[in-house]
Structure 1
Amino acid sequence: MASAAEPGLWAGEVEHRPIQATPVILHCDLQRPDFTDYLGSGFKIRVSKCTPRDSVILPTCGVAVLIIYLSRISTPSAPASTSSGEEGAAVKESLEEVIERIKAFTSQHKVGILVLVGSVFGEEEVGGVIATIQRKLLPRPPPVLPAHGDAQAAAHIQTLAKATQPDTRRVVQERMEGILQEATSQDFGVILARSMGLSLHQASVLLDTFGSLGAVAQASAVEIHRRTPLDAATAASVAAFFARDTVTL
């Protein structure tokens, strides 16, 4: 029987409200099927000629994205392409012109994010173009997201929209926290194992047994040997490692 408070729902039934489409403003240069189709459903797209070129604005959350195509940037070793393709009609720009365009964009938007689209992110792209952009925009360079083509650029925009909308923000935060925790714990385990001359498995056993690095540091060689599968010599080595005046990881 439906409750009086919420007509149409049976007792114990939870009302599921559909997630509203996220408004997004695309610059007219991005109004291409090969880009808008990648965005998929969930967006209420509006096209504008007044926004910065190759920009995507999420007005409800104040996030603005500027898409930079690396193939359009002319460098001494790689003149910009003028052909049409997935990126639409290419516009030739020097790196200095791109940097000035980014400066203008970030001055207009409080939360500005760069999506750099390129087929390859090698030493020249990362150590040359990207490093130059970040250095020229110091002391506050905008966040940079690399993308291999329009599909991944659109995927970045989808993630940003989900991460900033109330209906989906918590889900994204929980997933990112899990990924970050797993990545940092694995990286730290590798550093810890390398510094103490242990295998990754031995370092993991230590941390799992004692619960924290601080507890391992306070344990004696006898206690480490008693509580873990490590032999006496290895346990003594771990205890000696933390007994030093200076510990370098």
Structure 2
Amino acid sequence: MNTYQRFNYWLVGLASSLSLLVLGLNWFINPYGVTNSPKVKGVNWYKPATSDNTRLYKAVALTRQNAKTILLGASRIETGINPDYSGLKQYQPVYNLGLAGATIYEQRRYLEYAISNQPNLEMVILGIDFWLIAESQKTKPGFSEARLENQRLNFIDFVQINYSLNTLIESKDALIENFNDKVYQYHNENGLIVNRNQYGIYAKSFTEFLAGQVNKENYQISQLALDNLRLIK
């Protein structure tokens, strides 16, 4: 074996080892909350990256639920209604399927996905914002039709997540924030966004989430949003 062959073998071995290291670290830290890796306090217990990747996180998390009630809507639902609220006691288990900035089309597709994955689903509580009815966009960044056609993380998502430099950076950030106990926003197992500060968890009044985002002078109903709203039955 000549010098060039030894170098090539060494290079391939190094690249393979680094790839496995990245894969293993991303799988274990699991910054997006989509793998079944064990959760360790001070290491990877909280998943702060889920708050910016809600569409990915909840598509996977929903398949692990056994919900009888779904809370569906945009960010006001996601951050404003706790599935553990005492008024929902008789409708448990409840899962918060709110998606920040979700269009009506996205909500309809996630509801269809929930129906196909939650055989015990009995009730859906739908939150409708005026701006959603005026939203002309069909989907927002992070939405994937292919993801909603599978009951588990599909191969493309698996590769993009676990062999990604961005995921490695998120894993590093999650590890540091967990170690220092400075995770200020993350998802609960029930889908609710949790906010913390240096004093601990804090909750806002639901009325704080009711401020409008609608320009009354230019408000116009979107036919696309209205058509998809009619399909939510």
TM-score by structure 1 length? Answer: 0.28
Q: Which has the bigger relative contact order, CA under 8 A and spacing at least 6?
A: 2
TM-score normalised according to structure 2 size: 0.29
The higher radius of gyration belongs to: 1
